[in-house]
Amino acid sequence: MIVCVCNNISDREIRQAVDLGITTIEGLREALGVATNCGECLGYAMEVLDQHLGATMQETVIKRPSLVE
């Protein structure tokens, strides 16, 4: 789904950017140009960022091997 109409940026592109290490809206602005024109997409872009960061963190915790057995 298109998040930023002005720059034609999708939620998939935002998730890919997070997978590549971007963790802030400022990082998304620099890398993709999200919310750099009209700004209407800022709220949804932040939501997609936060949701994917949360999912990524949860996945990391689940995959990390236990140090105590």
- Cα-flanking dihedrals φ and ψ of residue 64, to 5°? -65, 130
pLDDT value at residue 67: 61
CATH architecture of 2-63: Orthogonal Bundle (1.10)
pLDDT of 69 strictly over 90: no
At 21 the three-state DSSP class reads coil
Q: List beta partners, residue 2.
A: 10
pLDDT tens readout for residues 15-68: 999 999 999 999 999 999 999 999 999 999 999 999 999 887 666 555 656 566
Q: What is the pTM of this model?
A: 0.79
pLDDT value at residue 60: 57
pLDDT value at residue 54: 87
Domain boundaries, the chain: 2-63
pLDDT value at residue 55: 81
